[in-house]
Amino acid sequence: KYEIITFCCFLSSMSVVGRPLLAPALVSVSWLRAALSKQSQADAPHAGPCVRVIDASFHLPIWERDPRVDFMTSHIPSSFFFDVDVVCDGDTDLPHMLPQREQFQQEMRRAGISNDDHIVVYDATDLGVFSAPRMWWMCRVFGHNNVSVLDGGLQAWTSNGFSTESGPPALVTPSNYRVDTVHLENVVDLNDIDQNMETKTHVVLDARSAGRFSGVDPEPRPDIPSGHIPGSKSLPFTELLNDETHCMKSVEDMEQVFNNVGVFFSGEDSSPCIATCGTGVTASVIAFAAHLIQEQQQEQQSVPVYDGAWVEFATKRSQQIHRI
């Protein structure tokens, strides 16, 4: 049996006249630990917006790991597991495509998350930041902008000596979460890619490894050939992470990574981008990094994600695959 719990608002600075302020897009494990501690000590358990933690782990098939098993073994206290391979569009054979509005809404209700809650997403991979930005992107597509990525993920949490829990999450009271707007401007499909190959209005940035991009290394899915979309540029998502801490690099260092491939977010040389990868997961790391850079520059042009990504392009446009 599990206790029915309700999370509460813990910092008055998080809301103004009952409405939450948007939290920073990237939060540290120390920030989250302090927030959860403060929240658990609050006197008014029904006082408004809360910090809600979601484990959005996804593992590549070649890793032979089950994220649900990992969650049951160890997770950040009070977190909820969101399975991108279950909460996805079931009308396509493509892996973990963006779910329908009703699917996302139902999952948020089941997790007891309210529209005003501050969601913090993390993943439990050894890479620190891998799949959590996919959930960050998904939340924003469905209008939930008060969402943050935990820098370094579960690895950073445990490295700092913070405690974890095992077993299923505590039961929660279902919420009345509503998705009123879907921001499809943050989503790109194959037709958009086809059009962009003609117009070249957007720079397509590929988050896969350089070897997969060039066609030298195989894809993790054996039935999919490697290579890249014509005209796209290689920007492995790992270049946006600190090699030692597996946290996101500084905004200045991330901006330099983009500049190195000819992408600028301000000035005369700025140009819109599209992020892609293998299945739409690590493309979200590029979109997230671009958001952090533009957040500091007070720019607001989002980088959309090609949801079908390389699996779709390589399957449906195999004759157009480019290799180096």
Active site amino acids: 277
Using CA atoms, how far residue 73 sits from 31, 77, 167, in Å, is 24, 12, 6
Strand partners, 165: 75
The pair phi, psi for residue 34, each rounded to 5°, is -65, -40
SS3 of 27, please? strand
Q: Across the chain, where does the E strand assignment appear? A: 15-16, 19-20, 26-27, 51-55, 80-81, 118-122, 147-150, 187-188, 203-206, 233-234, 273-276, 305-306
Rounded CA-CA distance 214/227 in Å is 5
Does residue 257 contact residue 275 with C-beta atoms inside 8 Å?
A: no
- Across 41-62, b (16+ Cβ under 10 Å) vs e yields eeeeeeebbbbbbbbbbbbbee
Rounded CA-CA distance 41/37 in Å is 6
Strand order in the sheet with 147-150: 26-27, 147-150, 118-122, 51-55, 80-81
Q: Are strands 15-16 and 19-20 parallel, antiparallel or unpaired?
A: antiparallel
- 93 burial level (CB within 10 Å; 0-12, 13-18, 19+): exposed
3-state helix, strand, coil in the chain (%, to 5): 35, 15, 50
Q: Across 235-322, where does the E strand assignment appear? A: 273-276, 305-306
